[in-house]
Amino acid sequence: MQRINPALREISLDKLINTHLTTLQTLTKALRDDQFRASVDKEVIANLHAALSRLCVEIKSMSGDVDPLDESVSLCLKLTAECFRAHRNACVQCTPNQCSLRNLGSIKVSFEILDKLLTLTSGGSNVVYDAIRCGIQFLGNIAVGNQLCKDDIWKLGFPHIFWNMLELPDEKAVSYTCMVLHTCLDDHKTEKLAQDAQQLKVSLKIMDLCKTLPDVDWTVLIATQHFLKSTEIISKMFTEMTNEERLTLLELILAHLGVGEEEKDSLIPLSLAEFLASFFTDRCRAVLTLTSQSSADDQAAVVIIRLLDILCEMTSDRKKFMALQDHPDLLSSTVAQDFSLKRPGDEDAQPALSFKAHLIRLIGNLCYGHSVNQDKVRELDGIALILDNCSIDSNNPFISQWAVFAIRNVLEHNPENQKLIQELRSQGVGDDTMLREMGFRVEERDGSLLLRPLKKDP
């Protein structure tokens, strides 16, 4: 190990030769050891930076088309990749090495190299991509747990160089880039993403990668751990997205809510839930387009259906989001939906599967313990609507159960609604019959009406 430092120094002074590659490989391997990494001499780190700076000069002198058979070019690219590996290993859980390399300027030099490498083509050879991947990995390792390094990386690389790296036709390089973005992002940086067109473009690219590269977990982590915290960035992206892209985002939100943990809910601000509710109320009639044969119309409608699914989850007694009960238009828009929606001859394939059932579920959620909404449902003739749409329906599984749930929440501690049900029952109209078909009966007790299961015949 004593000979590493002099040999390392030679890289920045002499003509590049194969023995330099051996020197870097030896150092890379040594830096895997925790004890060596923690005690490595600062002069070694300085010479490692000097080697990277020398390689930067060589890389910048290359033309756009790289000949992988050119030995000098190939050696330079291999040395660059190995030098990045040594930098990467030096930074693993080692703040002193991170700070030393930052102070020496290795982050800036790395971006200069990467910026040039992104313009090179190598006729299908992997030699350029090896160097790019290792450079990005170094940036990821030097950023972990080091705010100064994170801020430098963001300032030097975002958005333009990061955008170019996300555009690479190399899944590993894209994955490593997303890792660096995830590491560097914080609440302040996330909020600023919505304030600049180019930054918003990068954000939309990450959302697109959630779908096109489903095996890259970092994209989902960026979306769920950073984007979902910001109503501004989500609302700006939602406005710019196609319906297909919106569906990707909504599926992520729905999956995130499906975890069901209180701390998961805390990542999503109430203002984002209110934005989604407003988008639903503004566009909910789009589901009527399902009667057409246009696939574009179908996508617009499925966006609304997914929004309905999300609103049902949010209002399922999740304390943070129960303020949606006071949304000025959500309940009235839900009750006013066309419950007769049906595409002739296409019942099994229509995207609106469970749509009516979830409308009824949302009505029930919004009325839970909320007398104002209970009264509003009555005033909008919503009670009869629920009862008229609760028969067994193959396109709406569990609709009977959600109808019972909704009626129970509409009646609870509400004399006026109970009186209305009593009048319907006394008149012998079909609503009471429908309740019986659902397996329930209305029972009067102490001046109030209760839903009770029908007694089965012995």
Task: Please write the tens of the pLDDT for every residue from 265-296.
Answer: 568 999 999 999 999 999 887 776 654 555 66
282-296, 303-317, 434-448 — which one is most confidently predicted on average? 303-317
Rounding to the nearest 10 degrees, give the CA dihedral for residues 225, 226, 230, 233: -130
Q: Are residues 125 and 204 in the same domain?
A: no
Residues 6+ apart with CB under 8 A from 152: 102, 107, 108
Are residue 198 and residue 151 in the same domain, yes or no? no
**CA 291 to CA 293: how far, in whole Å?**
7
The CATH number given to whatever domain includes residue 126 is 1.25.10.10
Residue 339 lies in a domain: no
Q: Say yes or no: 170 and 204 in one domain.
A: no
Task: Specify which residues 442 forms β-bridges with.
Answer: 451
Same domain, 210 and 323: yes
Does residue 271 form part of some domain? yes
Is residue 335 assigned to a domain? no
Q: Last residue of a domain, which of 143, 160, 184?
A: 184
Q: Is residue 358 part of a domain?
A: yes
Residue 217 covered by a domain: yes
My answer on whether 228 and 131 are in the same domain is no
Among the candidates 303, 328, 353, a domain finishes at: 328
Residue 72, in any domain of the structure? yes
Q: How far is CA 317 from CA 58, 90, 112, 311, 411, in A?
A: 62, 49, 52, 11, 18
pLDDT of the residue at 288: 62
The β-bridge partners of 448 are 445
Residues 69 and 146 in one domain: yes
48 with 27: CB under 8 angstroms? yes
What value does the CA radius of gyration of the chain take, rounded to a whole number of Å? 31
Q: Considering all CA atoms of the chain, what is the largest pairwise distance in Å, rounded to the nearest integer?
A: 101
168-203 pLDDT tens trace:
999 999 999 999 999 999 999 999 999 899 999 999
Same domain, 2 and 67: yes
Tell me if 364 sits within 8 A of 410, measured CB to CB: yes
What's the pLDDT at 441? 63
Residues 214 and 177 in one domain: no
Task: Identify whether residues 412 and 304 lie together within a single domain.
Answer: no
Does residue 66 form part of some domain? yes
Q: Residue 315's Cα: distance from chain center in Å?
A: 21
Q: What is the mean pLDDT of the chain?
A: 87
Instruction: Say if residue 321 is in the same domain as residue 354.
Output: no
Q: Residue 174: exposed, middle, or buried by beta-carbon count in 10 A (0-12, 13-18, 19+)?
A: buried
Residue type at 441 in one-letter notation: R
State whether the Cα torsion 272-278-281-282 is positive or negative: negative
pLDDT per residue as tens digits for the range 197-236: 999 999 999 999 999 999 999 999 999 999 999 999 999 9
Look up residue 195 and give its two tokens.
């304030």
Same domain flag for 23 and 165: yes
What is the mean pLDDT of the segment spanning 25-34?
A: 96
| Coil vs helix vs strand at 452 | strand
**Domain end (from 184, 204, 238):** 184
Residues 136 and 54 in one domain: yes
> Which residues constitute the domain of residue 381?
344-458
Token couple for 233:
């960035």
d(CA 130, CA 145): 25
The whole-model pTM stands at 0.87
Contact (CB, 8 A) for 131 and 81:
yes
Mean pLDDT throughout 58-69?
Answer: 85
What is the total count of domains within the chain? 3
Question: Are residues 354 and 397 in contact, defined by beta-carbon separation less than 8 angstroms?
Answer: yes
Q: What phi and psi values does residue 79 have, to the nearest 5 degrees? A: -65, -40
